[in-house]
Structure 1
Amino acid sequence: MDPRYSEDEQVEQLKSWWKKNGPSLIIGVVLGLGIVIGWQGWGVYTASRAEEASSLYQLLLGVQSESALEAGDRLIKEFTDTPYAAKAALLLAAAAVKRGDAADGRQHLNWVLENSEESGTLHAARLHLGQLELGEGNIDDALAVLKVGERSAFESHYRELEGDAYSLKGDSASARTAYQESLAVIASDSPYRGFLEAKLADLATIETAQ
């Protein structure tokens, strides 16, 4: 670290450097990763290098700039067969929703559902799409998106969103059942139980007022 600058100044310099060079760096890492995979295969690629690439990708997620979004587009178009493409699509969907472009967000999430083979990524895309549809007032579309047979460790999240959808539809009985089933499968020590219990309490208050 340069002694001429304070710690805060050095941190700001690092942030500035990453905003300018981060997207190009992550693309370079992914390109290098693709070359290694082509020659050696995933099975022999060292865990430390894979973790390094993953860490750099996480840094990309925190970069809010036009160049970062361009990097995401390139990952989708040129590296469709890598896990990074679907993750980039999730990032672009989140950015689209944040700027109020639900249509673009929906397009990216549907791309993930059509192209990804990773169970966790598919569940994340489906749940985010369900949230998007609820936010747009498309309750039936949200419920349709959430209809999936194998929910794995995401059962609680699915049931909670279904509870939200039924609550918005005015179907208190179905909403209560969904929230209760969400609580039934969530860890007993999860701090999120309080949010679900609050939703049940709000539901009871609404029913009493009716």
Structure 2
Amino acid sequence: MAYDLEEQEKIDALKAWWDRYGTLSTALVLAVALSLAGWRGWQWYETHVAGQAMGYYEALESAARQSDDDAVARINAASAALRSDYATSGYTARGVLLAAAALQQRGDLEGARDQLEWLARDASDPALQAVARLRLAGVLLSLEHYDAALGQLQGTPPAGFGALYHDRRGDVLAAQGQKDQALQAWHQALDALGADPAAQVVQLKIDALNGA
């Protein structure tokens, strides 16, 4: 088929452009396609992992509601799976807190301690870490490990946790027989609580210790 001069010039220009940029264009198209496939693959993987973590969390939640002899084993197994295989999942921290509470309720203080110590070391979520340290201090208090309990409450309390940390420190100091320090900690809790109804509970502790 014959082309006129203008058409031939366009064809020659297209061939020249393809000779110069064709390989690069193909590579760019391929890279975009692979990136899109990789992004979709990663989305699928994250959804898959989240689904598995949720499954373990639900199993833990179910075991925590049970009272049979195997419940503790199932709680520990589900929590162990979350901690080892899904440490970065949002379900894991919640699961560990749930496991600790369930074990503590059953009198397994060492088991609860292990759960909370793991979460207290995790700085990825400061709020959950603060909760873990507070609850861990309570467990250590029950175990009469007073110095370790105070160690969890050292330094400036995390934002929003001041009253709770001061109150728990007062509990530990009172258990140690350090009356003046306990009263000081509870008064700090009262200052932080202000008009919060929880202040009445702290005041009762102060009155009881003063009357002792």
Question: What's the TM-score, normalizing by structure 2?
Answer: 0.65
1:205 is aligned to 2:211: yes
Displacement of 1:184 after TM fit? Answer: 0.4
Give, in angstroms, the shift of residue 147 of structure 1: 0.9
Distance in 1, matches of 2:64 and 2:172, equals: 33
> What residue number does 2:51 align with?
none
Q: Is there any run of 5+ residues in structure 1 with no aligned partner, and where?
A: 1-34, 46-52
Give yes or no for contact 2:96–2:116 (8 Å, CA) kept in 1: yes
Are 1:163 and 2:151 counterparts? no
Match of 1:127 among 134, 141, 148: 134
Q: Distance in 2 between matches of 1:36 and 1:198?
A: 58
Q: Which runs of 4+ in 1 moved over 3 A?
A: 35-38, 59-63, 65-68, 70-73
CA RMSD in angstroms comes to 3.0
Change (3 A) 1:183 1:37: farther
How far apart are residue 37 of structure 1 and its match?
10
Look up the match of 1:153. 160
Following superposition, the deviation at residue 76 of structure 1 comes to: 2.3
Please give the residue correspondences for 1:71-110 in structure 2 after superposition, counting only pairs within 5 Å.
Answer: 71-110=78-117
Long gaps (5+) in structure 2 = 1-38, 48-53
Count the aligned residue pairs: 158
SS at match of 1:153: coil
SS of 1:152's partner is: coil
1:1-210 aligned within 5 A = 38-39=42-43, 60=61, 63-65=64-66, 66=71, 69=75, 70-188=77-195, 190-206=196-212
Q: Deviations over 1:141-183 (max 9, x none)?
A: 1111111435210010110011111111221111111111101
Equivalent position amino acid for 2:176 in 1? K
In structure 1, the residue matched to 2:11 is none
Q: Is the 8 A contact 1:90 1:108 kept in 2?
A: yes
Query: Identity of counterpart residues, as a percentage?
Result: 23
Deviation at 1:187, TM superposition (A): 4.0
Per-residue deviation, 1:114:
2.1
Distance 1:124 1:176, change over 3 A: same
Please say which structure displays the higher CA radius of gyration: 2
TM-score w.r.t. length of structure 1? 0.65
Corresponding letter in the other structure for 2:142: G
- In the alignment, is the contact (CA less than 8 A) between 1:163 and 1:178 conserved in 2? yes
Which residue number in structure 2 is paired with residue 4 of structure 1? none
Q: Distance in 1 between matches of 2:84 and 2:173?
A: 37
